[in-house]
Amino acid sequence: MKDQLIKRLTEYYKLERFHVVWLSLFGLFLNVKYGWRPTLLLTYGIGLVLLVLAQGTYYWRQKLATVQGERRRPERILRHFHGFQWVNVCVIVAYPVLVMLLNARFAHTWAAQTHTEWALFAYLFGVAEHVNYYHVQLMYDNRNDWRYLRAYKRLKMAALRKDFKKNTL
């Protein structure tokens, strides 16, 4: 059982790290290809996703270390995540403000030149990732998760939120 958990946490950690790297490269490519001005909102949305995925990488690595018996200071790590959560909320709230400012300043050319739909998609994906880590689990990728969903007919509490409640990793 413990070996399965270690394997799953290792996969989560490595997968999130991989997504951080490739999404960073993708964002860089977009900025080089189209310039920073037309991709500003898209880059902001991708940045939000990267921010939360980097936190996820850190979380799964810390969780893995705890399961493997490495000595950690869970209260300090959880304080980091409380801080990260507020940073995420500020970045999430700032996006609509940025949209309004850009729309007011560049109303005549802004919408057609800024990849607006993709930017909104990236932003909403970042919000969903934040919800997935800090509130309720949105990703169901194993049998136990699906069994829980079928049995209780509701979403599971996010693992990080459970750790906040227990005040330990």
Residue 2, Cβ neighbours under 10 Å: how many? 9
Say what the pLDDT of residue 110 is: 58
Q: How confident is the model at residue 163 (pLDDT cuts 50, 70, 90)?
A: very high
Query: What's the pLDDT score for residue 113?
Result: 55
C-alpha to C-alpha distances, 163 to 49, 58, 59, 117, nearest whole angstrom: 22, 14, 11, 35
Global confidence as pTM:
0.89
Question: What does the pLDDT look like over 61-78, one tens digit per residue?
Answer: 999 999 998 877 888 999
Mean pLDDT across the chain, nearest whole number?
89
Give the largest CA-CA distance in the chain.
60
Q: Can you give the pLDDT at residue 107?
A: 66
pLDDT at position 105 is 75
Q: What percent of the chain has pLDDT over 90?
A: 57
Which residues 6+ apart lie within 8 Å of 42 measured at CB? 30, 114, 115, 118, 119, 122
pLDDT digits (tens, 9 = 90+) for 84-132: 999 999 999 999 998 888 877 776 665 555 677 888 999 999 999 999 9
- Provide the pLDDT for residue 108: 65
Which among 96, 91, 109 has a CA at the least distance from the CA of 38? 109
What digits encode the pLDDT tens for the residues 52-64? 999 999 999 999 9
pLDDT at site 160: 93
Q: What residue ranges do the domains of the chain occupy? A: 2-166
pLDDT at 161 over 70: yes
Answer whether residue 16 shows pLDDT above 80: yes
Q: Using the structure block, give the residue that is written with the tokens 């921010």.
A: 51
